[in-house]
Amino acid sequence: MRRNKKNEIPRLVVPKNATLRQIYAKYRQQFTAADLQQYTEMEEGVPVEQILAEMEAIQREETQRRRKKA
């Protein structure tokens, strides 16, 4: 399986009348450690406390706005 450009999805070339078992076997052969690494990398995220504080602030603002309209 040749690798195309960085962002393109690689194609799996299989025989025309291949069974599902043959397709999976072919894919397992071509699956590399780099492919696995793509799914196991830890990404830095936003702390839950910050998200919760932002959501509470938005809720307070919306509640005040709705009370003013009514």
In angstroms, the CA 24 to CA 5 distance is 24
Q: Count of domains in the chain?
A: 1
Does residue 11 belong to any structural domain of this protein?
Answer: no
Q: Residue 4: its pLDDT value, please?
A: 53
Q: Domain containing 62: what range? A: 20-69
Higher pLDDT, 18 or 35: 18
How many Å apart are CA 62 and CA 19, to the nearest integer? Answer: 56
Q: Are 10 and 4 in contact (CB under 8 A)?
A: yes
Question: Max alpha carbon distance in the chain (Å)?
Answer: 68
pLDDT of residue 5 exceeding 70, the answer is: no
In single-letter form, the type of residue at position 41 comes to: E
Mean pLDDT calculated for residue range 53-69: 93
Q: What is the pLDDT of residues 7-20, one digit of tens each?
A: 677 788 888 999 99
Tokens for 13, please give them.
């070339």
**What mean pLDDT is predicted for residues 32-60?**
88
Q: What is the pTM for the complete model shown?
A: 0.42
Residue 24 lies in a domain: yes
